[in-house]
Amino acid sequence: MATTLAQAIAWGRSRLLRAGVASPDVDAVLLAAHTLGLGRGDTEARAILGAPEPHGYRDLVERRARREPLQHITGTAPFRKLELAVGPGVFVPRPETELLVQLTLDLVRVWRGAGETHPGVIDLGTGSGAIALAVASEDPASRVTAVEREPAALEWTRRNLAGSRVRLLESDYRDVTVESAGRFCVVVTNPPYVPDGEIPEDPEVRDYDPPTALYGGDETGMTFPCAAMDTAVRILRPGGSFVMEHAESQVAAVARALEDRGFRDIHTHHDLTDRPRATTATLPGPGPGG
Ligand SMILES: C[S@@+](CC[C@H](N)C(=O)[O-])C[C@H]1O[C@@H](n2cnc3c(N)ncnc32)[C@H](O)[C@@H]1O
């Protein structure tokens, strides 16, 4: 007997649940939506109306059950108002990183309110280009630069940035200087910060995110975050701001490292699940309007 879409989704849900996938309900529907070339709502509506199981659905569920990331299977990742192309070689953007975009937009707005027509923003370690593209598209007056070093990630960066206003620097972010990039009102970064010995448990992260996007360079995970701070000190304007994502366990170490480098107004920010996952800080100087 032919299987309906609703029966296939129910099967997909239980298959993914057994495989240990964290969000089996959503993933089962989104894989069906991808197979049909429809949105989630339309797919659920079709399931209610008794549509047949789409061809190829079970193969996609089996890939997901082997813990291939959903975003690698569909080829896209939602981020703020964007759909980014992602796949092997690039870090899949996470919902918690959307907080960095909001913090950056808030700072850019202050600079613009103080008369800076096109505040400069630079995203260190842009990966898919998520942060840079979201800032550029949500605040079209901002001038956004994105920096990425890894060749495999750069394939995706170039693809996502094509046709956008974002300038791409194919470089190590530790080498960025005022001569190579200019001066910025805001430096934003989601650097590699996982302590070297802390191998993530989720296969989607451990086996698919590039190690160069994850590991922070030592047992505290702070080498690359501190390198981003050093670059920020060099390329920020006086009174400019630094915005960085980090692990919950790194709040105190991040604040100390920023203080050591002369930053002030150091604030920790909580993500949607109320975890302290981002810090902002400002360099001394006149700042917006000064
Ligand atoms: C955690 S991922 C963040 C990617 C993206 N910004 C996001 O939030 O989804 C860190 C990114 O920094 C890049 N990266 C790591 N070290 C770098 C370096 N020294 N210079 C430039 N990019 C670097 C990695 O290749 C990776 O794309």
Give the model's pLDDT for residue 289: 65
Residue 33 Cα distances to 6, 40, 79, 81, 164, angstroms: 12, 6, 18, 19, 28
Residue 91 Cβ < 6 Å to ligand 1: yes
Instruction: Report d(CA 126, CA 122) in Å as an integer.
Output: 9
Q: Which of 83, 122, 190, 277 to mutate to test the pocket of ligand 1 (most atoms within 8 A of CB)?
A: 190
Give the model's pLDDT for residue 209: 96
Architecture of domain 95-282: 3-Layer(aba) Sandwich (3.40)
Give the model's pLDDT for residue 182: 87
Helix or strand run (H / E) with residue 264: strand 264-270
Kindly state the average pLDDT of the residues 79-106.
97
Going from N- to C-terminal start, the domains of the chain cover 5-66, 95-282
274: left (phi over 0), alpha (psi -120 to 50) or beta: left
pLDDT digits over 13-45, tens only? 999 999 999 999 999 999 999 999 999 999 999
pLDDT digits over 253-270, tens only? 999 999 999 999 999 999
Give the model's pLDDT for residue 287: 80
- CA 253–ligand 1 middle distance (angstroms): 20
- CA 129–ligand 1 middle distance (angstroms): 10
Give the model's pLDDT for residue 275: 96
Q: Cβ distance 235 to 184 under 8 Å?
A: yes
Structure tokens at 194: 């996982």
Percent of the chain with pLDDT over 90: 97
Cα angle 36-38-44, degrees, rounded to a multiple of 5:
90
Instruction: Report d(CA 172, CA 170) in Å as an integer.
Output: 7
Give the model's pLDDT for residue 286: 87
Give the model's pLDDT for residue 1: 53
pLDDT digits over 101-138, tens only? 999 999 999 999 999 999 999 999 999 999 999 999 99
- CA 190–ligand 1 middle distance (angstroms): 7
Residue 231 Cβ < 6 Å to ligand 1: no
Give the model's pLDDT for residue 285: 87
2 confidence band (pLDDT: 50, 70, 90): low
Q: What is the mean pLDDT of the chain?
A: 96
